[in-house]
C-alpha cells in the first residue's frame, strides 16, 4: 500500500539538503504552491510584497530546518518563527505546514545514507532532492571483519550496513525510502576502496595504468519493513599514465577519498579510455539500479521526483 501523502513532513529532526531554485511559471512549482497557500494572509495585510515581479524561490539551510527566501514575499519567516512560544497549532495546519519540505509529489522522501556530493548531485539532476543523513558505519573495520570476501559482495554488504544504520532513525515512518550505497574498485580480484593517503593512491594508480578493472557499487533500499539490494558493475579501461600525470593528479587530493582513486566526473575523467556499463554507477549511484529497487518496493520512479 502506498503511504498517504498527508502523512509526510515529520522529519524536522533530520538534516535537510539544499534544493535548487524554482521559478513560478507552471503553477505547479513549489513557489506557486507556497504563494497559493499564503494568498489569504497576504490579502489580510500580514505579508508585504517586496515587488510585483515573478517570485523566484530557493531553499537555504539556516537556523531552522527549512527557510524560504522568495523575492515575491520578503517577510516570510521560517515555519513557526512568528508564533509565540507554546502557541497551540491545529492538527490540520500542522499537516499543511509540514508539506514544505523535501517530500515528493507522492509524499515519499528519499534519504541518502552518504556524505558523497557526487551521489547527491546525480540524484538532484534526476529530479530527486535527497535528505542527507550520513551513516556511522566504520567501513575499514567492517571490511576487515568480512574478509575474505569478493569485491562485489563487499560493496553490497557495506551498502546494506549503511542503509540499516540510517533507517534506524526513521522507524515507523513508512513514507521514507532510505538508500545506502558503497563503491569498490576491483582489479585482479582485489578490492580497492578509498586510498586515504598520497602514497597509497600513487601506488594504486600506477597499477591501474593501461589496464581494465571493474567498479562495483552496492545499493540497498529500505522502505518501512521492506528492503531490497543490488550490485551494479561497470568496467573501465585506463590510459597509460606518466609519473608526472599521476603525481600531479594525486597532489590535487581528489583521489584520496574516492573508491579506486579515480572519478568519472572529476580531474581523472581524461584518464579513463572507455567504460562498459552504466556511467552513473561509476559516480557512485546507478540510476537504473535505483529505479529497479524502487520497483521492487512497490514504487514507481515518478514517485521519487521532487522537482516540477
Catalytic residues: 182
Q: Which of 11, 124, 114, 126 is nearest to 58 (CA)?
A: 124
CA 11 distance to own-chain centroid: 16
Contacts of 19 by beta carbon, 8 Å cutoff, 6+ apart: 30, 58, 59, 102, 124, 129, 306
Q: Which of 80, 24, 90, 15 is nearest to 52 (CA)?
A: 24
Is residue 288 packed enough to be buried (19+ CB in 10 Å), middle (13-18) or exposed (0-12)? middle
d(CA 76, CA 63): 14
* Residue 274 CB neighbours (<10 A): 10
Bridge partners (DSSP) of residue 219 are 181, 230
Spell out a b/e string for 119-129, using b for 16 or more CB atoms within 10 Å of the CB, else e. Answer: bbebbbebebb
Q: What is the DSSP code (8-state) at residue 66?
A: -
Which string of DSSP letters, residue by residue, matches 103-141?
Answer: --TTS-EEEE----HHHHHHHHHTT--PEE------HHH
For residues 204 and 196, the answer to whether their CB atoms sit within 8 Å is no
* Residue 204 CB neighbours (<10 A): 21
Amino acid at each position: 500500500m502506498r503511504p498517504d501523502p498527508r502523512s509526510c513532513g515529520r522529519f524536522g529532526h533530520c538534516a535537510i539538503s539544499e534544493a535548487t531554485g524554482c521559478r513560478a511559471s507552471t503553477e505547479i512549482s513549489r513557489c506557486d504552491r507556497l504563494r497559493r497557500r499564503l494568498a489569504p494572509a497576504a490579502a489580510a495585510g500580514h505579508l508585504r510584497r517586496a515587488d510585483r515581479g515573478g517570485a523566484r524561490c530557493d531553499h537555504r539551510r539556516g537556523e531552522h530546518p527549512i527557510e524560504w527566501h522568495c523575492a515575491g514575499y520578503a517577510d516570510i519567516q521560517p515555519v513557526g518563527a512568528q508564533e509565540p512560544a507554546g502557541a497551540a497549532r491545529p492538527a490540520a495546519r500542522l499537516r499543511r505546514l509540514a508539506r514544505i519540505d523535501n517530500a515528493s509529489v507522492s509524499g515519499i522522501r528519499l534519504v541518502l545514507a552518504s556524505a558523497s556530493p557526487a551521489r547527491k548531485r546525480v540524484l538532484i539532476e534526476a529530479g530527486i532532492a535527497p535528505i542527507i543523513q550520513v551513516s556511522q558505519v566504520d567501513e575499514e573495520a567492517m571490511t576487515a571483519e568480512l574478509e575474505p570476501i569478493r569485491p562485489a559482495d563487499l560493496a553490497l554488504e557495506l551498502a546494506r550496513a549503511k542503509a540499516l544504520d540510517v533507517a534506524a532513525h526513521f522507524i515507523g515512518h513508512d513514507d521514507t525510502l532510505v538508500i545506502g550505497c558503497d563503491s569498490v574498485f576491483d582489479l585482479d580480484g582485489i578490492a580497492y576502496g578509498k586510498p586515504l593517503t598520497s602514497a597509497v593512491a600513487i601506488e594504486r594508480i600506477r597499477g591501474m595504468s593501461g589496464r581494465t578493472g571493474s567498479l562495483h557499487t552496492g545499493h540497498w533500499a529500505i522502505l518501512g519493513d521492506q528492503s531490497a539490494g543490488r550490485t551494479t558493475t561497470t568496467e573501465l579501461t585506463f590510459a597509460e599514465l606518466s609519473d608526472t600525470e599521476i603525481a600531479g593528479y594525486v597532489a590535487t587530493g581528489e583521489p584520496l577519498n574516492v573508491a579506486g582513486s579515480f572519478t568519472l566526473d572529476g580531474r581523472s575523467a581524461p584518464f579513463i579510455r572507455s567504460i562498459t556499463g552504466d556511467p552513473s554507477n561509476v559516480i557512485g549511484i546507478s540510476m537504473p539500479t535505483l529505479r529497479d529497487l524502487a520497483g521492487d518496493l512497490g514504487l514507481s520512479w515518478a514517485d521519487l521526483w521532487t522537482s516540477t
